[in-house]
A and B are shown apart, each in its own frame.
Chain A
Amino acid sequence: MSSQPQIVIEGVSHVYRPTRGKEVTALENVSLQVGQREFLALLGPSGCGKSTLLYLLGGFLPIEKGSISVDGKPVAGPGPDRGIVFQHFALFPWKTVRANIAYGLERQGMAREQREARVQSLVDLVGLSGFEDSYPSQLSGGMKQRTALARTLAFEPAILLMDEPFGALDAQTRHLMQTELLSIWQRTPKTVIFVTHDVQEAVYLADRVAVMSARPGRIKTIVDTKFDKNSRDVFKAPHFVDKVDEIWNLVRDEAIKAQGGRGM
């Protein structure tokens, strides 16, 4: 971690005002700092505002209270320094795998030849060779998410925002994708903000896990989860199991609150 944090979130609150119905306070007074090339997981029960925080960081929602800055500059709208990967992939269904991955490069004006080479190297990186000309509707969930990941990695954002990216995948594919993401991240380190409600996933992937409270969302604690993740048996290692247990106990109370106070 460099001395200067890359992302500084200070006193951010966010209220949803639906056209009908009650206002909902999704986030309340959230402050957080993330260092360069750090992998941070935002963990919490559904409805705790963790995705909202990610969208604010992405510049997709207006920041009404508090401030968010990236590399010292306040966030004002979306930009290619912050790439995002969504749970439901958000691929352009009318574009092929190749054209999806090329989109960001096109928008940022990369020359055609360079672009084609870059797209090919990403296709290879995420293991989609042979599917370059398929449309998203022809791909499995795992392949769709590989495409989405490649599309975002293609334009080399300094920060990767991931919104429960593996939440829509089956357990096996999810595990494969986690391992792959970790290895990609270790080879080309970036700052990653990873939203999830899966404790194991958070501990396995992240350097630090920010546990959020049930609505209104606040940062409850931040747990250090930095240790060697490369061993095959990491999931059985005592320090891994202990961390999962520690965090699970923190999340548990919040999950119960989110369910309306009834025990599980």
Chain B
Amino acid sequence: MQLLLRYLPLLLLAMFWEIAARLELVSALALPSLTAVAEAWIELVKDGDLITNGAASLYRAGMGLGLSIVIGAALGIFMAWWRPLNIVLSPLVEIFYPMPKSALIPVTVIWLGFGDGSKILLIFLGCMLPVTIGAFNGARGSDRALVWSARSMGAGRLRMLWDVVVPSAMPEMLNGIRTALALSFILLVSSELIVSQKGFGYLIGFLGASGAYEGMYAVVLTVAFLGFAADRVYQMLMNRVLAWRE
């Protein structure tokens, strides 16, 4: 019931959409009715287009994001732990961070071609810095007394890094990963829209260009829903990992 109430505005929007399309308040070309979109969605699932393209997209996003989390987190924590690394890398991070990573789409294509590699590289590059910065700030904020406590109880420097610095960095790092998760969807779809032969973005572009607007909307809504669902699931996981806070 509460859930229903919470998403009531969404339901109202859907109803408004359907009515507006049915009454032809807007051109059916620009906005096909929601039911027509739903039919097209079922069609796309049946003939497998949505599944194969979706699988390709999720593979790219998963690989890119996974790499960015592992490498980004390690980089951030080691930057906080070892000053020389910080001195060398922090100017690079500062310059690279605000740059719109979509500008790298053609570059990654030149490097790695039209296939999965260029998408994975782009998502990796775009998602890594939020994770790195989160991990770095979190690790830097480690309480001196915790570090000393662990050391005095017999933890060596590396052990202390794992037992104290990594968990201290966790809250900020997990927030960085959440940002990265949203970015991965953005970069995925935009790169696939521009240069690709499969994926959600490719399918949206292809259907739109061939005038199958119901299908195009169906894919757009699918991506929107996946992005939303991924964020919700992630938040649930994050709250479980951070259950120790309050």
Asked whether A84 and B154 contact (CB < 8 A) given A90-B143, A92-B164, A137-B245, the answer is no
The answer to whether B152 touches A58 (Cβ under 8 A) is yes
Q: How many angstroms from the CA of A136 to the CA of B155 in the assembled complex?
A: 21
Does the CB pair B154–A80 fall under 8 Å? yes
Complex partner residue of A93 from B150, B159, B244, CB under 8 angstroms? B244
Interface of A is mostly: loop
The one of A55, A107, A135 that contacts B155, using a Cβ cutoff of 8 Å: A107
Interface of B is mostly: helix
Q: Scoring A residues 129 to 145 as 1 if CB is less than 8 Å from chain B, else 0, what string do you get?
A: 00000011100000000
Question: Which residue in chain B gives the minimum CB-CB distance to A100?
Answer: B149
Complex contact B244–A58 (CB within 8 A): no
Query: Which residue of chain B lies nearest to A79 when distances are taken between CB atoms in the complex?
Result: B152
Taking a contact as CB atoms under 8 Å apart, the answer to whether B152 and A78 are in contact is: yes
* B106 in contact (CB, < 8 A): no
A80 touches B145 (CB 8 A): no
> Judging by beta carbons under 8 Å apart, are B152 and A137 in contact?
no
Query: Contacts of A55 on B, CB cut-off 8 Å?
Result: 148
**CB proximity of B142 to chain A, nearest CB, Å:** 11
Residues of A within 8 A of B150 (CB): 92, 103, 107
Q: Are A103 and B153 in contact (CB under 8 A)?
A: yes
Residue of B nearest to A107 (CB): B154
Tell me if B20 counts as interface (CB < 8 A to partner A): no
Q: Which of B148, B159, B245, B246 contacts A58 (CB 8 A)?
A: B148
Which residue, of A55, A77, A86, has the highest number of chain B Cβ atoms within 10 A? A86
Per-position 1/0 for A185-226, Cβ under 8 A of B: 000000000000000000000000000000000000000000
> Which residues of B170-228 have CB atoms within 8 Å of chain A's CB atoms?
170
**B-side interface size class:** 20 to 34
CB<8 Å pairs between A and B, sample of 29: A55-B148, A58-B148, A58-B152, A59-B152, A60-B152, A78-B148, A78-B152, A79-B154, A80-B154, A83-B152, A86-B145, A86-B149, A88-B145, A90-B146, A90-B148, A92-B163, A93-B245, A94-B170, A95-B244, A103-B163, A104-B154, A107-B154, A108-B154, A135-B243, A136-B244, A137-B246, A151-B153, A155-B153, A155-B154
Contact for A80 among B152, B163, B245, CB less than 8 A = B152
CB of A82 closer than 8 Å to a CB of B: yes
How far is it, in angstroms, between the C-alpha of A114 and the C-alpha of B145 when the chains are bound? Answer: 28
Interface residue tally on A, bucketed by range:
20 to 34
Q: Is B167 in contact with chain A by the CB < 8 A criterion?
A: yes
- Interface residues in B108-166 by Cβ distance below 8 A to A read 143, 145-146, 148-155, 159, 163-164
With A135-B244, A137-B246 as given contacts, are A90 and B149 in contact (CB-CB < 8 Å)?
A: yes
Known: A84-B149, A137-B245. 14 other contacts (CB 8 A): A60-B151, A79-B154, A86-B149, A90-B146, A92-B146, A92-B149, A92-B164, A93-B245, A104-B153, A107-B153, A107-B154, A108-B154, A155-B153, A155-B154
List residues of chain B with CB within 8 A of the CB of A86: 145, 149
